[in-house]
Structure 1
């Protein structure tokens, strides 16, 4: 990494066409990729070597014959790949085409954030129109492939339920995919603070009102993460309910295909009454009845417990909080805002992994 000056532009994952890309090979590759400690997938491209050994077999046919493991890797790389022949006579042209693909990828990664926000704005407008049409619980999918420059086009829009990205349930057994963490909660619940603690940097602005979903990526230990911070709801007219529900409904489409997705419900350790429970039910239900199977309650501002255990707090708070915890199988964790210890973050990520066996 230090030899790439002034910065790293591309990561070429070299895969030979002469052998099967197996689970063992992926685990070996993953172990080495973790050493980079940087955002990988938006800069990654698969470089197939020994392309001439395929004969007249198209590379697409070869990829299909390799099975889900290689296809999953391609999805993580935004379907970017290049085929390199072993024949010297073709080397010059091959390198030229490869460099052109890399330049296109770099250009896409350098696009202003405003351009990506415009894309998400279009999705929001489409979702709003669908809601206004009053579709009744149906699921509409815009089944589009991922663009080769890395910008996702694969989006599922629905009025009352949200369809998870393709590959979410089709991940090969025992493979450790990236994690998609969606932060939910009322205003000033500590969602942005929790997101920054998870990513170990100031990825989300604190102290300002979140009106649209914000997305940030990061790596920690063996995990590659995408974190989505959603607008918080308010029971006192400080947030527009329909806008908040629209953004929450959009949030799963902002996670990469193949992610192990989890909804992190931030609840500060202060009072939690029946009106808070009703608000949680109202806004979380936008994501469908099955959302609770993938939800973890994250008690924020844990430093305010002041010596009490979280169990004591739960019992004192009473039935409204028990209702929420019961819905998500009593999966919960406490984040202390005063600590820089990463133990809590690791425990949260392990809970998410355990939800998927």
Structure 2
């Protein structure tokens, strides 16, 4: 069957599952009214069209089942109207379910929709999980969520693993929509990309599919490598942590107060089939370098790890007191790399062997300053024992946590462009500060001149008055 440039997508589900929000995410704009409500916001079927790449998509937003002011008969009638209208073009049905507890009400919703669709349409039906952001916040993968509930696990098996997850809150929406579309079209037309895309006559659908596949390839490619930048004070075990990740003593590591690393250095290795690059940086607060030279050298880590690091590891020694200096670390990093950097930052505690029976969670809980830093980094932290280079489990756990962070960031990395934007913002801030300082100086100079003029005038008036008094007195003396 020759694919058409237009594709119809019908959203079905329970009230408050995120049906309208998913429609907005797919179209990339606020096409449908979407807000939290115990009642269905959508009373009538709303239809909006848009493009994903070069593929025209028409989205049907339907009233949610349950908790609505409409009767069951009204809803069923509207659903049947949609089914008649949408199938003039290739059509898929997305059964929207919150990535939350799969309750009895959700299960009944699925059953009702299945009855409305019938067996043939169910072959073109996908499960669309919403609230992917909450899964990421809880550090739970979609597979772990599915496996938690036997009924949900059986449902996914029944649909031959046809499911996708949307984060309707993220700004990086294009990639997840393209991934959804490529899954749907490949399944709908049973396309094998290597053999059949080139045979598709319609240029728009062919280009759209190739673009989607290229985006997918780039995402897969990004999963095959990790670029990590180490940041922290001198002597906390930065270079040692890099050696632990690499599994070999590639980076110079000595216990010193002053930084052993005076310039950025880069090493890479292969872990579980993935290329991992580690960039070590001079110690923050290094007294051997001028502050501007230190900031410039540390910032160079972005270009060394081009096209940009996936993770900045802020290295702290687990036994250290968290002082005012440590508290300045996030401000220093933000000053160098911009506000976006903390989205890609992770706390890495070293000397984990010295924790003994204590837990790092207890340590964080007991220190509000440390807790604040961890929270600024999205509650992301890990513990290393750098004395145990052969313990690869601690490294694999770190990489998995970094993977979760990357997924939370929409699959991207900190980029050269972000750094340049941050530098431009810093320059603009500095220029504005200088302008403000110049205005302040001019204002002070103006006030100083006005004060001089005032004092001068008052002095002249006083001298004139004194002169007049003396003259009058002298005149009286002469008269006498």
TM-score w.r.t. length of structure 1: 0.50
The TM-score normalised by the length of structure 2 is 0.38
Larger Rg: 2
Structure with a larger share of its residues in helix: 2
Higher RCO (C-alpha under 8 Å, 6+ residues apart) = 1
